[in-house]
Amino acid sequence: MSFNSSTMGSGSRTTRRTFEFGRTHVVRPKGKHQATIVWLHGLGDKGSSWSQILETLPLPNIKWICPTAPTRPVALLGGFPCTAWFDVGEISEDAPDDLEGLDASAAHVANLLSTEPANIKLGVGGFSMGAAVAVYSATCRVLGQYGNGNPYQVTLSAIVGLSGWLPCSRTLMNQMERSHEAARRAAALPILLCHGLGDDVVAYKHGEKSAQTLSAAGFRNLTFRSYNGLGHYTIPEETDEVCNWLTARLMLDGSRS
């Protein structure tokens, strides 16, 4: 699937970019279908990598949709092309945000969820750059619109971010203060953020600061977990936390005692 998007270039002309998303992998629920979660991979990865992991989790009531990001030049890699949900030059609060890329990826996720049955709870999760898009999707849901002003029309019931960060953090507080409805939605949306203290790719301080910024902006149903010695990868202790959290927050059948 492709999305056309327009942005202002270095001059006054408007240029258009088309984002060609890769293959989507789906893990069907082994039990009664109660929730659907789009799970987003990290920089340079693909949907199949995470679909193989998610298939092994003891969550029989969840359908997992694992899309693959477009292949695009990435400034962080000196312009080398690889799969990426958006362009990024550096991971810091002061770095410019690729709003066009973020909006295109968040819209792709929303489109994948839009055809799910009405009684199914919907969520977005991801790792690293994928986690950044998941959290960005949460802010779009709460504000009711994408960064470009187009309406965001999917109701989300859970957000999970592993080893990620919050894009557009500098403008979030301002936007939240303008809307009572946004504050109400933020307080009700469950978010789980996990980060390793030994992460040398997306430093722990970025994950911690993202959680603090979201909490200060009114996301009160937020859980932040840190893991000693964990680098930029996942471990069974972390995936167990995700399983328990999703089972409780989405009220899935077969909750483990």
Q: Which residues, including other chains, have CB under 8 Å from residue 55's CB and lie 6 or more apart?
A: 27, 64
- 5, 48, 87, 232: which one is catalytic? 232
> Residue 55 CB: number of other CB atoms within 10 A?
14
- 97, 98, 103, 199: which one is catalytic? 199
- In the annotation, is 105 catalytic? no
- In the annotation, is 128 catalytic? yes
Q: Which residues, including other chains, have CB under 8 Å from residue 246's CB and lie 6 or more apart?
A: 35, 37, 59, 62, 123, 158, 160, 192, 252
- 128, 157, 163, 210: which one is catalytic? 128
Would you put residue 34 in left (φ > 0), alpha (ψ -120 to 50) or beta? alpha
Q: How far apart are CA 187 and CA 38, in angstroms?
A: 22
On the 0-12 / 13-18 / 19+ scale of CB atoms within 10 A, 255 is: exposed
Q: How far apart are CA 157 and CA 189, in angstroms?
A: 6
> Which ranges of 23-98 does DSSP label H, i.e. alpha helix?
47-54
Is residue 125 within 8 A of residue 199, CB to CB? The reply is no
Could you give the residue numbers annotated as active site? 128, 199, 232
